[in-house]
Amino acid sequence: MINKKVANVTEAMKGVKDEMTLMLGGFGLCGIPENAINELVKMNVKGLTCISNNAGVDDFGLGLLLQKHQIKKMISSYVGENDEFERQMLSGELDVELVPQGTLVERCRAAQSGFPAFYTPAGFGTEVAEGKETREFNGKMYVLEMAFEADFSFVKAWKGDEAGNLIFKGTARNFNPAMCGAAKITVAEVEELVPVGTLDPNQIHIPGIFIQRIFQGEKYEKRIEQRTVRKRN
């Protein structure tokens, strides 16, 4: 069994350079690779293209990279919670590619499975389809979408073992599984890293074959993006 464990986030990030394309798991602030993002901020890598469902908030998640102008392009589905993102997009400082949410995850999954492209009906007849090949199947029009090509994928799981097998918890099982194995190198950070053989094979969501590096993260804030509470009676 190959041991994928690395000592810490610094070792896990070796090879990340300016101008790379990175995938980052999570939905909103749920299940984001907090340690990896913080390390990217410290490394001060520039000119990044980031593929993620959204760009975090102004002072957390990918918003930290936006603050330092480390991202040149965002490929996302939803960007409504980040004022700095809006400012940079409207000013032309940030290149933005908006992708339908289902298409975004399928472009990840296509890369994971080794498919170069796929047809989807999502976006046909809209700006999403401009400049793309379209084709009719059984009387319905489809748009050709290309699989992502990323250098690194950073995901966050609840538990993992030293062989890279992962278990996600609750809604943190969002874009993370589809991004595993969808880049040249996938780095997984976990809340609890255990020896091989500890995890129940029937509970594993992603097998270690999709992971190249794994480490145990530290100090997860797990911030709530939109806190909704009810008054006590």
Alpha-carbon span 105 to 54, nearest angstrom: 12
pLDDT per residue as tens digits for the range 22-75? 999 999 899 999 999 999 999 999 999 999 999 989 899 999 999 999 999 999
Q: What is the pLDDT of residue 90?
A: 92
- The torsion of the CA quartet 36, 39, 45, 46, rounded to 10 degrees, works out to 70
CA dihedral sign, ordered 203, 206, 209, 214: negative
Tell me whether residue 197 is exposed, middle or buried, using C-beta atoms within 10 angstroms of its C-beta: 0 to 12, 13 to 18, 19 or more.
exposed
Q: Which CATH class is domain 9-115+148-216?
A: alpha beta
Q: What is the pLDDT of residue 82?
A: 86
SS3 at position 33: coil
User: What phi, psi does 216 have (nearest 5°)?
Assistant: -90, 120
Q: What is the pLDDT of residue 131?
A: 96
Average pLDDT, the chain: 95
233 residues of the chain, pLDDT tens digit each: 799 999 999 999 999 999 999 999 999 899 999 999 999 999 999 999 999 999 989 899 999 999 999 999 999 998 877 889 999 999 999 999 999 999 999 999 999 999 999 999 999 999 999 999 999 999 999 999 999 999 999 999 999 999 999 999 999 999 999 999 999 999 999 999 999 999 999 999 999 999 999 999 998 988 887 788 888 77
Alpha-carbon span 88 to 197, nearest angstrom: 47
Q: What is the residue extent of each domain of the chain?
A: 9-115+148-216
